[in-house]
Amino acid sequence: MPEITIQASDGSGSFGAYLAMPKQVPAGAVVMIQEIFGVNHAMRSLCDWVADMGFIAICPDLFWRIEPGVDITDATKAEWDRAFDLMNRFDQKKGIEDLKATLAAARVLPGCNGKAGTMGFCLGGRLAFMMATESDADCNISYYGVGIEGLLDGKDRIHKPLLLHVAEKDRFVPEAARDAMQAALGGMGGVALHVYPGVDHAFARMGGHSWDGRAATIANGRSAELLTATLG
């Protein structure tokens, strides 16, 4: 599969990233942020979709410090158990460092117009919110990010467009957490939070246990509009 190598900013080594290129360049770049299942078929397919929309898509292996090359699904309990173990051992601060390194690398890729944003799912949705508060990404998109209610004290550091897709019936994001997000972020300039009624976590993962075609199509359309407006 197409892959590039990125040097970690702390000098501890390097990590791989899946790369999907659009048909035409120059183009903006989107750093795709993985779920807890690694850079798997679902993430590679999402990268290909973003490239098909006309953007460079790059998905770094964020679990490389624990186990490089993780590629699992949500099909079995054993895989879920392994995924949660990886998530629990994952150093999010180091993950943000690696995402910033990926963002910087994306901006200077041949064919990039110098603009780059992020789009994350699940754990990646949380990290996309953190990138909105801790990086200079040109835009950030969060799909059903987990634990964002605990990060809301950083909202005043959000200076670029942020789009959040939230599932009404998310088993990992209780109603109280959703209410806290809406109360803190509602009305903020440049921030849009959309709640999708009746759907569960991972509603936009095609072929996944909670796929919902209508909600996914609406959410993905909103994402496409933001990427086009901010990345060119």
pLDDT digits (tens, 9 = 90+) for 151-167: 999 999 999 999 999 99
User: How many residues comprise the chain?
Assistant: 232
CA max distance for the chain: 45
Domains, the chain, in order of start with CATH, read 3-231 (3.40.50.1820)
pLDDT at 2: 66
Q: Of 157, 95, 150, 154, whose CA–CA distance to 127 is shortest?
A: 95
Pick the catalytic residue from 138, 170, 200, 212. 170
How many Cα atoms within 13 Å fall on the side-chain side of residue 164?
30
Pick the catalytic residue from 74, 138, 201, 212. 201
Query: Scanning the structure block, which residue is given the tokens 């909600």?
Result: 215
Kindly report whether the global pTM for this prediction surpasses the value 0.95: yes
Across-strand partners of 59? 18
pLDDT: is 15 or 1 the higher one? 15
Write the pLDDT tens digit of every residue in 82-115.
999 999 999 999 999 999 999 999 999 999 999 9
Give the 3-state secondary structure of residue 200: coil
pLDDT at 7: 97
CA 161 remoteness from chain centre: 14
User: What average pLDDT does range 184-212 have in this prediction?
Assistant: 94
pLDDT surpassing 80 at residue 220: yes
3-state secondary structure 173-197: CCHHHHHHHHHHHCCCCCEEEEEEC
pLDDT surpassing 90 at residue 208: no
Query: Scanning the structure block, which residue is given the tokens 């080594």?
Result: 13
Catalytic residue flag (residue 136): no
Catalytic residue flag (residue 170): yes
